[in-house]
Structure 1
Amino acid sequence: MVQCSGLEVAYYRVGEGPPVVFLHGAAGDGRLWQPQLDVLSDAFTVVAWDEPGAGRSSDVPASFGLTDYAHCLAAVVESLRLGPAHIAGLSWGGTVALELYRHHPDLVKTLILVDTYAGWKGSLPAEEVQARVEGARRMLAAPPDEFDPTLPGLFAGEPPAAYVPLLDAMDAAVRPDTMRTQLALMAEADQRDVLPTISVPTLLLWGEQDVRSPLTVARQFQKAIPHSELVVIPGAGHVSNLERPQEFNRTVRDFCHAHS
């Protein structure tokens, strides 16, 4: 555990070598990165955090903001003496990665932005943001025994059978207050001002069939971030690290080796 602003922040750590820090999406925790923890640890120090409010970490305070997430992530990187590290974020985790770069660029060796957003407000049409906010409101208003944190459109097809038990376990561990905080922050975030300032090597890793953060968003990132590289994973949706782990791991491995 790492202490940050009175919170305990948990993490998984395996392997030795250049550090790669993975940031999960909303309604998830560090276990989302099991295929990466298993495979990439042969050549890298692989760390996957449970952000505040997720997994084994402390509950997220009601007043927690995006900057607070970034500062807690910085505390993890600094406490483990990992920086500068390869920082990889999926979906909401990529938004957190961008906020880390805004406030702590010295801790970032490269960015790996996976099926992500510069906040919903910064990446999606206003009507889509509004539809997602309304959907989140309905989800969070459900009685506790009917609460289902599964977001629509995560996979190109059915969830990979090998990871269904893992997905079920993460769903069962989701805290409604965490989900409320994450989605509210995501809806209001607009980080387009950060993108042109990024000076570290940046990999944009996208599922070809992602409907939550479609390839149009990836193209926006590619246009705004100097010298960024876009790799599209065929047949993958939003959670490409689970749906196509071999292609995902190979791409991350090659990129990190090239910039280590």
Structure 2
Amino acid sequence: MLTTSYFLAGASGKRDFWQPVMQRLKSSNLIMHQIDYPSFAGCPAHSNVNSFTDLSDYVFNQIQRPSVIIAQSMGGLFAIRAALEKPNVQALVLVATSGGIDLTPFNIQDWREAYLNTYLDVPHWFTETDINYQDQLKNIHIPVLLIWANDDAISPLTVGQALQRYLPHAELKVITAKDHHFAFTQPRIIAKWIEEFLLKHAVISDLDK
């Protein structure tokens, strides 16, 4: 059976973020698809996407089944929603994301001001969501791979460790990195971990090396 993998970027919506990892993933039954965010990173606007809720609906409606969702940072909020509401989502890979938990107990660098000053052409409402899935995470019974850096100020390792406790079937991999975008800068090891995870849980069957 063919499995579709959906790649979700973070708050920048950068359309090339996952390309280095996608280029290194080789499987005969894994179809890779990137979901772009309207009005982000040069993607054309969409008349029905005017808020974070609209964007969540837009992404949600594009995710078909069976599928595995691979999400960076804020994209993890869309991945968690899909896992909760779409029964045939087979697995999640969450990279340096909040996962929709309460972040107040953690020592997290406030990224919003720098983000708004850097990405001047993106909708500001992306930074305003306070969606919280913390109490629902226990209902996600599919395999979840968490990938975190050991020294990321935006999403500290303690957040990944908390998500591992909240999610019943989660495993955590830690990469040596100081930046938040390590999946883009170190794609070889990230692709290797994703391949091993999908093979372990029979999401994919054979890899073409």
Q: CA deviation at 1:175?
A: 2.3
User: Of the two structures, which has the highest relative contact order with CA contacts closer than 8 Å and spacing of 6 or more?
Assistant: 2
Provide Cα deviations, 1:158-187, integer angstroms capped at 9, x if missing partner: xxxxxxxxxxxxxxxx623x2x111111xx
Report the alpha carbon displacement of residue 17 of structure 1 after superposing the two structures with TM.
4.9
How far apart are 1:59 and its partner, in Å?
4.4
Task: Confirm whether residue 72 of structure 1 aligns to residue 58 of structure 2.
Answer: yes
Contact map agreement 1:53 1:60 (CA 8 A) in 2 = no
More helix by share: 1
State the partner residue of 2:156.
Answer: 214
> Aligned partner of 1:181: which letter?
W
In the aligned structure 2, how far is the partner of 1:219 from the partner of 1:243? 22
The alignment-based identity, stated in percent, is 26
Counterpart CA distance in 2 for 1:249 and 1:59 is 31
Q: Which residue in the other structure is 2:72 paired with?
A: 90
SS at match of 2:155: coil
Matched residue, 2:118: 148
8 A contact 2:152–2:179 mirrored in 1: yes
2:37 aligned with 1:56: no
Matched with 1:110 is: 91
User: How far apart, in 1, do the equivalents of 2:95 and 2:192 lie?
Assistant: 14
CA contact (8 A) 2:13 2:37 kept: no
> For 1:127 and 1:256, how far apart are their aligned partners in 2?
32
Shift of 1:249: 0.4
Q: Deviations over 1:137-156 (max 9, x none)?
A: xx64xxxxxx522xxxxxxx
Q: 1:84 and 1:181, CA in 2 relative to 1: closer, same or farther beyond 3 A? A: same
Structure 2 counterparts to residues 11-26 of structure 1, below 5 A:
17-26=2-11
Aligned CA-pair RMSD: 2.6
Amino acid in structure 1 at the alignment position of 2:200: A
The TM-score with structure 1 as length reference comes to 0.68
Q: 2:19 aligns with which of 34, 49, 66?
A: 34
DSSP-derived class of the 1:247 partner = helix
Cα offset, 1:92, TM superposition: 0.3
Seen in structure 2, the aligned counterparts of structure 1 residues 256 and 127 have a Cα distance that, compared at 3 Å, is closer
Q: How does the TM-score come out when normalised to structure 2? A: 0.83
Which AA in structure 2 matches 1:18? T
Bigger Rg over Cα: 1
4+ runs deviating over 3 angstroms: 59-63, 124-129
2:44 equivalent to 1:100: no
Q: Which runs of structure 2 are paired with 1:147-166 in the superposition (5 Å)?
A: 147-149=117-119
Q: What is the rounded CA distance, in whole Å, between the counterparts of 1:252 and 1:211 in structure 2?
A: 23
Tell me, in whole angstroms, the C-alpha distance in 2 between the residues paired with 1:240 and 1:60: 33
Structure 1 residue 132: Cα displacement: 4.6
1:213 and 1:238 in contact (8 A); partners too? yes
Alignment partner, residue 102 of structure 2:
122
Aligned equivalent of 2:206: none
Return the alpha-carbon distance in structure 1 between the equivalents of residues 57 and 102 of structure 2: 21
1:216 deviates by 0.6
1:184 paired residue number? 128
What is the CA–CA distance in structure 2 between the aligned matches of 1:95 and 1:202, rounded to whole Å? 14
